Structure 1
Amino acid sequence: MSFHTVARLGGISMAAEHLGVAKSGVSRHVSQLETHLGVRLLERGARSVRLTPIGARLDQRIRSILAEVDLLDDIAREESVGLSGQITIATTPEFGGEVAAVLVPDIRDRYPNLRLVMRPAYAFEDMQDPGTDLAIRVGTFKDDRLIARRLGAFRCWLVVAPSFANKYPITNPDDLADVPCLTFRGDRPVATWTFFAGDEEVAVDVTGPIAVRSFVTLRELALDGQGYAFLPEFMLGDALADGRLVRCLPEHVSRPYPVFLTFRPGARRIARIDAVIGLVEDRVPALLSE
């Protein structure tokens, strides 16, 4: 426990304070573990410590074991009190909103004592946190440590405000190189948009007035008439239906982006997680077109 606490808090002094023991005791416990294993777990500096590669692997395994212990506690608790507690789902910010909109009413109706936490993130490190129960990931999925269920796929569509389309009309993807475009980037306002129309593939280098790593913000900018946007179809329904946005070049779309539900082996032994997995598998595919 001393080693794991040092790894989690980042220092021997903080670990000692957290555990309520002397610094020398924590240091001795870690040294004894290193001697027992025959490897160096920590690189000790003047004011801080950092994990060696083998130390990081050991700490990850310890986290997994502790998560399994928590799982056993959860199983026992749910057997006695029924479905209650918290479910934490990590997902991209935009799709997370869509998922919450379909899950929350069902959860409130069927399992009123369950609480749902949505953790927005674009990175794929979410399931390394034992506090995360499920993750919905977009794109290629490869992780032998997790179970993955493919929920479906979506594509991106090219959209624009009607007034902007009138001012900067286009007739083919190549025209986008000469008009303002809104790009999903966190560094500079340029991108390469790749379109598929049947067997045809077209890549166009675009640029524009702004880049932002948020599809919600890009949609708002498109609604405000600031440029063309290439956005996930699942977040365009209302804006297209009421005419605030129009779809351009509808035969040209992005490649399909697969969506996976992921969770740890054994997670379905916890009744509340199994219940939410069932709801996700039942409701979320309807949000996706493929």
Structure 2
Amino acid sequence: MLGLSSVIFDCCKRRHFWNTLFHMVNNQLDLNLLKTFTKVLELGSFTQAARALKQPKSRISKAISRLEKELNVQLLRRTTRSVTATTAGHSLYLKTYPLIKDMEAELSQLSEQSQKLQGILRLSAPEDFGHTLLGDLITDFNDLYPEINFDVILANDFVDLTKQNIDLAFRIGKLDDSNLIQKKIGDVELILVATPNYLKKYGSPLTKKDLSTHKMLTFIKLDQNIEFDPLGEIIKQADLKTRFACNSFPVLYSLVMKHKGIALIPDFYCRDQLLSGELVRILPTFSAGRRGIHLIYPPSKSMPLRLRTFIDFASNKLQSHF
């Protein structure tokens, strides 16, 4: 903008004109006034400019008058038949027209890019969800839209979407009220599991009290905002002592698969192993409750197409899974 001010000063040689325009630039000159001005001269008519800008002719006339008043110089000569530029107006047009066109082209390009399936999506998800479902979800999506790249943050704590510049988060459990959009895609159930080898060695518990003789592997929460307390109810009712506590379901799952104990694990994490017989569900009638799984994202009037497409894809894909 300072370059534009210098050009107008050199062309017009008007001290007051320079001071006024410099003041307007520093106070955020309305570029729409310049855009209207260049459009009038480009098309040679207030009527044509109004049609091109989809505005009333009276608004076009007022915009030109306002620009001339703020610059304190006449830019256009108006007759009933034509519109022509004054010397100052001609100089202003020659210097601002390319800039306006470049700006319009850049804005148009940005708009087109936001509507193309390309760019980067930044996602956040709990560790267990990321280890099981998110990888396949992203690769399946990427097969359809290879120009979209992903940055993924796996964390059991709730990540601040705004501070971390996250486009979309997967969250399990109770959600705080916020201005974020929350889209539920299913429910997660926590179930007790162990391997056949472990049960063969230590026996199969038939009641919650029977768990007191077993090696219990427990999930612990570090963030107090997280609702998960998976074994809390069982531990209280059966007076159990945990042998191992960790804030990572993948670690608990790994220990279970190595026949090290019994753990309460999200059902989606071990569904395939239950079907194959690698894991056995303990106390099938017991339920630690179901927790919703949601997609969380900031509200936006102009959501990028890549994000909207991924939300639809993830919703459809995961709703059939849960």
Residues 117-156 of structure 1, C-alpha deviations (whole Å, 9 max, x = no match): 2210112233132521001111111232211011111101
Q: 1:93 aligns with which of 127, 135, 142?
A: 127
Q: 1:261 to 1:205 in 2, by over 3 A?
A: farther
Counterpart of 1:145, as a letter, is N
Structure 1 pair 80–270 and aligned structure 2 pair: CA distance change class (3 A): closer
In structure 2, what is the equivalent of residue 256 of structure 1? 290
Distance 1:74 1:218 in 2: 51
5+ long unaligned stretches in structure 1: 1-72, 196-201
Task: Tell me the equivalent position of 1:167.
Answer: 201
Alpha-carbon distance in structure 1 between the residues aligned to 2:294 and 2:108: 25
Q: Tell me what 1:194 maps to.
A: 233
Q: What secondary structure sits across from 1:109 in the alignment?
A: helix
In the alignment, what sits opposite 1:141?
A: 175
Question: Which one-letter code corresponds to 2:219 in the other structure?
Answer: F
Letter in 2 for 1:79: E
Aligned counterparts of 2:321 and 2:288: Cα–Cα separation in 1: 17
**Structure 1 length-normalised TM:** 0.64
How far is 1:220 from its partner?
1.2
How far did 1:77 drift?
Answer: 2.8
**Structure 2 counterpart of 1:181:** 216
Which letter maps to 2:278?
Answer: R
Distance 1:145 1:287 in 2: 28
- CA change 1:255–1:185 in 2 (3 A) is same
Q: Pairwise mapping of residues 17-36 of structure 1 onto structure 2 (< 5 A)?
A: none
Q: What is the aligned partner in structure 2 of residue 273 from structure 1?
A: 307
Distance change >3 Å, CA 148–CA 80, structure 1 → 2: closer
Q: In the alignment, is the contact (CA less than 8 A) between 2:174 and 2:292 conserved in 1? A: yes
Matches within 5 A, 1:58-73: none
* 5+ long unaligned stretches in structure 2: 1-105, 223-228
Q: Tell me which of 107, 110, 129 is aligned to 1:77.
A: 110
Structure 1 stretches of at least 4 aligned residues deviating more than 4 Å after TM superposition: 73-76
Q: Secondary structure at the match of 1:143?
A: coil
Q: Does residue 104 of the first structure (1) align with residue 138 of the second (2)?
A: yes
**Structure 2: distance between partners of 1:97 and 1:267:** 32
Distance change (3 Å), C-alpha of 1:78 and 1:104: farther
Partner Cα separation in structure 2 for residue 251 and residue 260 of structure 1:
26
Give the direction of change, closer, same or farther, for the CA distance of 1:146–1:166 in structure 2 (3 Å limit): same
Change (3 A) 1:75 1:216: farther
Structure with greater helix percent: 2
Helix, strand or coil: the match of 1:244?
coil
TM-score (normalizing by structure 2): 0.58
| Equivalent position of 2:186 in the other structure | 152
Structure 2 letter corresponding to 1:154: V
Q: Does 1:206 align with 2:245?
A: no
SS of aligned partner of 2:200: helix
| Deviation per residue, 1:163-195 (Å, 9 max, x gap) | 2212322111121123211111268xx984436
Which amino acid is 1:137 matched to? Answer: R
**Greater CA radius of gyration, 1 or 2?**
2
Q: Do 1:191 and 1:206's aligned partners in 2 also have CA atoms closer than 8 Å?
A: no
Retained in 2: the 8 A contact 1:154–1:232? Answer: yes
**1:228 aligned partner:** 262
Q: Kindly tell me: are residues 286 and 98 of structure 1, through their superposed partners in 2, closer, same or farther at Cα, counting changes over 3 Å? A: farther
Q: CA deviation at 1:286?
A: 2.5
Aligned residues: 208
Percent identical residues: 26
Report the Cα offset of residue 83 of structure 1: 1.5
Contact 1:90/1:126 (8 A) holds in 2: no
Query: Retained in 2: the 8 A contact 1:78–1:271?
Result: no
Q: Assess, with a 3 A threshold, how the Cα gap between structure 1 residues 75 and 114 changes in structure 2: closer, same or farther.
A: farther
Kindly provide the CA deviation profile for residues 19-40 of structure 1, in whole angstroms up to 9, marking residues without a partner as x. xxxxxxxxxxxxxxxxxxxxxx
Alignment of 1:17-56 (within 5 A): none
Q: Normalized per residue, which structure has more strand?
A: 1
The answer on whether the counterparts of 1:155 and 1:257 sit within 8 Å (CA) in structure 2 is yes
